[in-house]
């Protein structure tokens, strides 16, 4: 069973610098400053961060302590078309965005045009050796949202880039591991494998926003 930090956390936990709660159409929502990417509501320079389209956004809305304060160097695995990583690049430091599929990578490139700190990489997160010469060592945060079998293995193989005091922010998709198994059992297995290289600080189901997903905050051992 999932046992680490499963108690409810207030959604009013401290937000990173550059992330605010602002009103959009009468509703208070997370927001960052930047050019819109996926049709999200805007208010001047601010754009809403939709947690139903972003696992990291969901982790923030649920009050998980993600360890991002603003300005950190980030390695983002599974950047897709840039929905979440564009928000990250709005407030973080250098942000390396790894995406393997060519079609979403084209949208990712468009999102990067107005974000000088966002560096798209058309690479496979399962093969970190292909971008080891590009990504600087000792990144502060790895954000991983890779819908593939072996999600813990991907996190372990990319741990080489993470600073000793860094954080892994992992969104585990149970159905990508095994569509036939109970998600809770899948999450237990992923956690057990992950503990070979990480100390899990917090884990929480993201059901309010994403079915059969688990958010994990961890640091390297």
E strands, 34-112, are 42-43, 46-48, 74-77, 95-99
* 17 assigned ligand-binding residue: no
Q: Pick from 143, 208, 139: which is nearest to 169 by CA?
A: 143
Smallest CA-to-CA distance from 54 within 72, 40, 65, 43 is with 40
Ligand-binding site membership of 125 (annotated): yes
On whether 112 is known to bind a ligand per the annotation, the reply is no
* Side-chain-facing half-sphere of 26: CA atoms under 13 Å: 0
State yes or no: 99 annotated in a binding site: yes
145 is in an annotated binding site: yes
Q: Is 19 assigned a ligand-binding role in the annotation?
A: no
CA–CA dist 77, 161 (Å, integer) = 12
Sequential DSSP letters for 7-45: S---TTPPPPTTEEEEEETTEEEEEEES--SSS--EETT
Q: Check whether 73 is labelled as a binding-site residue.
A: no
Residue 111 annotated in ligand binding: no
CB 124 within 8 A of CB 131: no
Could you give the CA distance from residue 49 to residue 61 in angstroms, rounded to a whole number?
10
H-helix or E-strand spanning residue 186:
helix 183-194
Kindly calculate the radius of gyration of the chain based on its CA atoms and give it in whole angstroms.
Answer: 16
202 known ligand binder: no
Q: Is 9 annotated as a binding residue?
A: no
Q: Please report, in range form, the residues annotated as the binding site for S-adenosyl-L-methionine.
A: 83-84, 99-100, 124-125, 145-148
Q: Please report, in range form, the residues annotated as the binding site.
A: 83-84, 99-100, 124-125, 145-148
């Amino acid at each position: 069973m999932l046992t680490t930090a499963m108690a409810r956390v207030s959604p009013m936990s401290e937000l990173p610098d550059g992330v605010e709660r602002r009103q959009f159409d009468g509703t208070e929502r997370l927001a960052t400053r930047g050019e819109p990417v996926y049709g999200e509501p805007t208010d001047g320079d601010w754009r809403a961060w939709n947690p139903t389209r972003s696992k990291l956004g969901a982790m923030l809305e649920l009050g998980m302590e993600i360890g991002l304060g603003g300005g950190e160097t980030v390695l983002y695995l599974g950047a897709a078309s840039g929905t979440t990583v564009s928000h990250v690049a709005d407030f973080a430091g250098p942000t390396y965005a790894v995406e393997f599929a060519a079609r979403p990578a084209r949208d990712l490139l468009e999102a990067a045009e107005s974000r000088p700190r966002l560096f798209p990489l058309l690479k496979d997160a399962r093969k970190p050796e292909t971008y080891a010469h590009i990504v600087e060592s000792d990144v502060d945060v790895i954000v991983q949202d890779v819908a593939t079998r072996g999600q813990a293995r991907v996190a372990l193989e990319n741990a080489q880039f993470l600073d000793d005091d860094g954080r892994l922010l992992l969104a585990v998709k149970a159905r990508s591991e095994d569509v036939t198994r109970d998600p809770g059992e899948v999450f237990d297995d992923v956690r057990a494998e992950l503990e070979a290289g990480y100390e899990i600080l917090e884990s929480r189901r993201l059901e309010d926003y994403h079915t059969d997903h688990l958010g994990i905050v961890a640091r390297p051992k």
